[in-house]
């Protein structure tokens, strides 16, 4: 694996190795404080970020490496300079690139023209670092992944697409409930159905949040309007009205279900304060695990290049 572009492209064995290394890194971070000494990671971000930027910057620092943050004004990707020229130039300076962008094809182009690993730090289509950290968090909580029932309620967006692949590949059962017209990507749904069948996991999509959460171990949601969709916020708020994670929906899930959210959360929209601040929410464990999992990914991708 040269790059981390989407969960779909992660070999099953690699996911297991990433999680195993994450466990070791989390337990004994000092043992790895020179793992990436002398290495530099460029962070090209075309959208805002708290978790992704900070966890990569701190993670790289803890591994003995260095980061350079290149915000929207800096590189002006595809406008000031073609993506392939950015890729080829940065390949001469740094050891890896994290790209947060709009169109997923930007990540593919960056990876195709880079001689160094490219990590997708979120595109409109997927958010693989998030899904990996999320499933690591589930594993930490339940001690296993196989057979865990995850319900995703809300927009069939980047986070949802990545979670679907991660769940069906790693043996979790996933049910998605979204309003009509806001389902996950059609190709993701097709491929996930086939993968779930092959792996013996369950995958279902519907427009019924109550049905989706019934009997779930984990209830997951994300914002109704993602970065770049701000103009649609009002229309979306109407369409998603019945897809809020609140006490009534959680009651249907049963007393033991945990609540996950990739954050940032729009409190009072996709999730109530009561649920997000409640004892069943594990959102800050997810946020913390972003850093541990990404450190493992960085070692796997950048570490073996001499």
Is the Cβ of residue 52 or residue 178 nearer to ligand CP in the bound state? 52
- Which string of x and - marks every residue 109-128 that binds ligand CP (by CB under 6 A)? -------------x------
The helix-helix angle for 51-62 and 283-298 (nearest 10°) equals: 50
Q: How far is the CB of 158 from ligand NVA (least distance, A)?
A: 5
* 51 forms part of the interface with ligand CP (CB under 6 A): yes
Stretch of 50-58, 206-214, 244-252, 265-273 contacting ligand CP, by CB under 6 A? 50-58
Identified catalytic residue from 51, 53, 104, 127:
127
167 is catalytic: no
Is the Cβ of residue 126 or residue 130 nearer to ligand CP in the bound state? 130
- Which string of x and - marks every residue 255-274 that binds ligand CP (by CB under 6 A)? -------xxx----------
130 is catalytic: yes
Q: How far apart are CA 6 and CA 11, in angstroms?
A: 11
Stretch of 67-75, 76-84, 156-164, 237-245 contacting ligand NVA, by CB under 6 A? 156-164
Q: Which residue is nearest to ligand NVA (CB)?
A: 226
Contacts of 13 (CB under 8 A, 6+ apart): none
- Which string of x and - marks every residue 181-220 that binds ligand NVA (by CB under 6 A)? ----------------------------------------
* 99 forms part of the interface with ligand NVA (CB under 6 A): no
* 226 forms part of the interface with ligand NVA (CB under 6 A): yes
Q: How far is the CB of 159 from ligand NVA (least distance, A)?
A: 5
Stretch of 27-35, 200-208, 221-229, 284-292 contacting ligand NVA, by CB under 6 A? 221-229
* 174 forms part of the interface with ligand NVA (CB under 6 A): no
Q: Which residues are catalytic?
A: 100, 127, 130, 222, 262, 290
């Amino acid at each position: 694996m040269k790059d981390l572009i989407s969960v779909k492209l992660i070999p099953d064995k690699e996911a297991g190795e990433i999680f195993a290394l994450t466990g070791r890194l989390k337990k004994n971070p000092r043992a790895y404080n020179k793992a990436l000494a002398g290495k530099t990671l460029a962070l090209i971000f075309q959208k805002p970020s708290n978790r992704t930027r900070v966890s990569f910057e701190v993670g790289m620092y803890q591994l003995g490496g260095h980061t350079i943050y290149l915000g929207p004004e800096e590189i002006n990707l595809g406008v000031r300079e073609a993506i392939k020229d950015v890729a080829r130039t940065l390949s001469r300076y740094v050891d890896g690139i994290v790209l947060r962008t709009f169109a997923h094809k930007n990540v593919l182009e960056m990876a195709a023209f880079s001689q160094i690993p490219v990590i997708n730090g979120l595109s409109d289509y997927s958010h693989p670092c998030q899904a990996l950290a999320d499933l690591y968090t589930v594993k930490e909580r339940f001690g296993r992944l196989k057979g865990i029932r995850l319900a995703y309620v809300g927009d069939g967006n980047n986070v949802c697409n990545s979670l679907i692949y991660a769940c069906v590949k790693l043996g979790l059962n996933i049910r998605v409930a979204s309003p009509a017209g806001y389902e996950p990507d059609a190709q993701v749904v097709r491929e996930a159905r086939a993968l779930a069948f092959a792996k013996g996991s369950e995958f279902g999509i519907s427009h019924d949040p109550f049905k989706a959460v019934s009997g779930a171990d984990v209830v997951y949601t994300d914002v109704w309007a993602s970065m770049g969709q701000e103009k649609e916020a009002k229309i979306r708020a109407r369409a998603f009205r019945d897809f809020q994670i609140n006490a009534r929906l959680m009651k249907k899930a049963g007393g033991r279900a945990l609540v996950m959210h990739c954050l940032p959360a729009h409190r009072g929209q996709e999730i109530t304060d009561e649920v997000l601040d409640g004892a069943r929410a594990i959102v800050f464990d997810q946020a913390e695990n972003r850093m541990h999992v990404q450190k493992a990914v960085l070692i796997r991708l950048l570490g073996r290049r001499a």
